[in-house]
Structure 1
Amino acid sequence: MSIFEILMLLCFGAAWPFSIYKSYKSKSVAGKSPYFLVILILGYIFGILNKIFYNLDFVVYLYGLNLIMVSVDLTLYFKNSKPIKSEQK
């Protein structure tokens, strides 16, 4: 376990709730990239796999929490990118 790994995950993890909140409230995808979010998801998955195979410790939960938050943000991206249906008369 590395204190720097923990601090990195805590810093990244602190940013995601704000991003999720902004996506939820604004209903906008402006400034969001699904490709970037998928790359982050893959990175967290690889971090979890590294922990499982080589050095299992509680830090795996930080990876998991970050993975969940980025996945929620990606879900909101797809929800918010759907075209709005206009009311028919």
Structure 2
Amino acid sequence: MTNLLEMLMILCFGLSWPISIRKSWVSRTAKGKSLFFEFFIWIGYIFGIIRKFMLFSHGGELDFLFHLGWFFYFFNMAAVSIDMVLYLRNSRLDRRRDK
């Protein structure tokens, strides 16, 4: 049951990132976004992956949802990374517009 709840949490987060990426791409501004915030979310996913690795190495509950969780953690990390790169691009565009 705990793996199901974790998967639902990660799935909900994962559905949000493509929306954020699209907004970053289309708006072409970093205003209203925080690289600091996204960095800590990225670190949180690292901790989640470490937890999964620790469960795996200690013979924890290894059902289908456990294994599917790896995909969602890495997908979410990739999505946050893309959004962070877009933040950097948009910050540069904001600086150019401000000049």
> Normalising to structure 1: TM-score of the pair?
0.88
Query: How far off is 1:57 after superposition?
Result: 2.4
Stretches of structure 2 lacking an aligned partner (at least 5 in a row): 57-65
Deviation (angstroms), 1:50: 1.2
Mapped to 1, the partners of 2:35 and 2:88 lie a distance apart of: 8
What is the aligned residue count?
86
- More helix by proportion, 1 or 2? 2
Partner residue, 1:71: 81
Give the distance between the partners of 2:69 and 2:23, measured in 1 at CA: 27
Q: TM-score by structure 2 length?
A: 0.79
- Percent identical among aligned pairs is 40
Q: CA RMSD in A?
A: 1.8
Which structure has the higher relative contact order (CA within 8 Å, separation 6+)? 2
Structure 1 unaligned regions, length at least 5: none
